[in-house]
Each structure stands twice: as C-alpha cells, then as structure tokens.
Amino acid sequence: MGLFDKTFGAQSQIQEVLSQAEAFAAIALATTASDGNLSDEQARGILSVLSRIKLFRCYSNDEMNRMFDKLLNILRWQGINALFNSAKESLSYDLREAAFVVATDLVLTDGVSPQEEEDFLNDLYQALGISGDIATQIVQVMLIKNRE
C-alpha cells in the first residue's frame, strides 16, 4: 500500500452528515446507481420523483440541483457504500418507509429490474430496519402501480 492509498483510504472513511432531504435523496440515488450505471435520464427521473414529495416542495430547482451535485460528488469520490451509509445514518426513522417506497418505485418504473437493483432493495429494507411484511407490501403495491 502506497502513501496515496493510505491518504485516500483515510479520506474515504469520512462519513458525511446529511440533512433529512439529502439522506432521502441519497437513498434514491444509491438505488438507481446500484446496478453500476447512472444515466442523465435516470438522474432527471430521480429529481422529478423527488420534486413531487412533500419533503422537497420548498426546494427551488437550484437547491435541488446543488443537493444532487453534492450527492453525486460523494458517489463519485467515496463510492456507493459511503453514500448509502451516510444516508442510512442521517435518515430519520419516520422517513425510512417512504424512502423505501421511492426506491422501489424507481427500480420498478422502467419495467426492468436488474438483479443488482433487486438485491439492493432486499438489502435496503433490512438496513433501514423495515419489517419484511411492510417491505413485501410496498413491493406488491409498486408492482401494481408499474404494471403495463
């Protein structure tokens, strides 16, 4: 391990403290990026979904873009695990089910759910402390919502 590995490794251990809105948005971003891809269209889709949620109603387009840029920087420089862990630690218990609903909807919206995204959702409900019964109900409702 070289000098730069140690330095950058230490930086990646730093956990960002996120606001409730940032943590909620980070869950959506991490879910969408969990398959290793994040297109501009997917990013716009996340912003569109978030803009309809009560938590984000008072956010201007500029504020949404700045928040999203911050989260994308964490994703790029520290990785999906750092983004997810920061979100999980920062997100209040009251918002966890709602974040799982949005994450599930984002995965199922396009009608294609790669195994990586399904695995991520399975890990997500457990990491957020959501009961298996509630998670199953959420998935069932989102499957109905996103039927063709």
Neighbour tally for 70: CB within 10 Å = 16
Backbone angle region of 129, left / alpha / beta, with phi > 0 → left and psi within -120 to 50 → alpha: left
Q: What is the pLDDT of residue 111?
A: 67
pLDDT at residue 110 tops 90: no
Q: What is the CATH number of domain 20-145?
A: 1.10.3680
- Would you list the domain boundaries of the chain? 20-145
Q: What is the pLDDT of residue 3?
A: 36
Mean pLDDT of 130-134: 96
Higher pLDDT, 110 or 58: 58
Q: What secondary structure letter does DSSP report for 129?
A: T
DSSP sequence for 35-51:
TS---HHHHHHHHHHHH
pLDDT tens across 19-54, in order? 999 999 999 999 988 888 888 888 888 999 999 999
Nearest to 146 by CA among 74, 49, 75: 49
Q: Which helix (H) or strand (E) holds 134?
A: helix 132-145
**Burial classification of residue 62, based on how many CB atoms lie within 10 Å of its CB (0-12 exposed, 13-18 middle, 19 or more buried):** exposed
pTM above 0.75, yes or no: yes
